Amino acid sequence: MADKKVSRETVPHLSDLFTTGTLIELSLGGENTIELWLERPSTIQQDDAMNKAKAKRARLMAAYRDEDSDEHVALEGELLGMSKDAIIEELIILEEENFKRQAVSEVLYGPEGSDWGEYGVDYIDLLDATQSRLQEIREFNDGLSEEDEHLAIRIDKDEEVKRLETQARKFQDESDDRKKVLIEKEKGRLGLTELVKLVDDLRKARIDLEGQLVWFQEYRLRMLYYSVRYPKKRTSRYFDNMDQLTSLPAWVQQQILSDYDTFDAGGEDVKKLASLLSSSDSSELLKGVEEMSMPSGPKA
């Protein structure tokens, strides 16, 4: 019996897993759309984006050290006009995410140096169990889409989901309460600190935060500049220079950035996960910083 011949087109290849780029459709309002090709920048281009972003941050740091610069004068004038209470409040806001992480850690494992708390690794198991149960319900109701209200009703009525979510809410409430305790303790410590020291701390925190934002924005835009290509001529970059990219309306830049982040991270599942993880009761300032975070990419 002759061997059955298999068409080469039907045989999967490892190269099928390689993703060099993706085609996106940019909406400009109404039925107006533009197609763009997004391609991962080369290693050399990534290094260039990193170096230029670091250089821009370094220029900002140098400007703040120059007592005659507009940046230095503006910052010092603002700090001089702030009350001690206002300075303490801003320092607390800038550190709020650290308080949140510490609170979660202490509820999970107990205070540093103690035995594990009530939850420990069990909380991770709780999250896994919740996701597993939700997946079971979805598979059992395979004919229903994620948006179908009947699926949502069945999930809401499921006793196991209710039990698991009650445990998760208990953990969240305890973490929130612990964070409040940590914040009040820090406010008390800062209240006993000399004003000069508080001003120095806030000055450094503000400059560091702005430096990180400047670096991050520049890095993202440089990566985007190298990434965007013509759909039918993918070796040619869409923008001739950075000015063309940065002169686009902010909402257009954000659309392209969002599509690039999704492509760079590996798909829509990553975007949904990032959305879940970004939920927080932090201040608007810190929320804004978190929303800028890239799913992947090197650190400064």
Confidence category of residue 276, pLDDT binned at 50, 70, 90: very low
242 in a structural domain: yes
299 in a structural domain: no
Give residue-wise pLDDT tens across range 84-108. Answer: 999 999 999 999 999 998 888 887 7
47 in a structural domain: yes
Q: Which residue has the tokens 């991962």?
A: 40
What is the Cα–Cα distance from 37 to 194, expressed in whole angstroms? 56
What is the Cα–Cα distance from 274 to 290, expressed in whole angstroms? 10
181 in a structural domain: yes
Rounded-to-10 torsion of CA 260, 265, 283, 108: 180
Q: How many separate domains does the chain show?
A: 1
Q: Compute the radius of gyration of the chain from its Cα atoms.
A: 25
Rounded-to-10 torsion of CA 280, 286, 288, 293: -80
pTM greater than 0.75 (yes/no): no
Provide mean pLDDT across the span 144-170: 67
- Could you tell me whether strands 233-237 and 228-230 are parallel, antiparallel, or unpaired per DSSP bridges? antiparallel
**What pLDDT sits at residue 242?**
92
Domain extent, residue 84, equals: 18-291
**What pLDDT sits at residue 259?**
86
C-alpha separations of 223 from 240, 245, 251, 261 in Å: 14, 11, 18, 11
Confidence category of residue 167, pLDDT binned at 50, 70, 90: confident
154 in a structural domain: yes
217 in a structural domain: yes
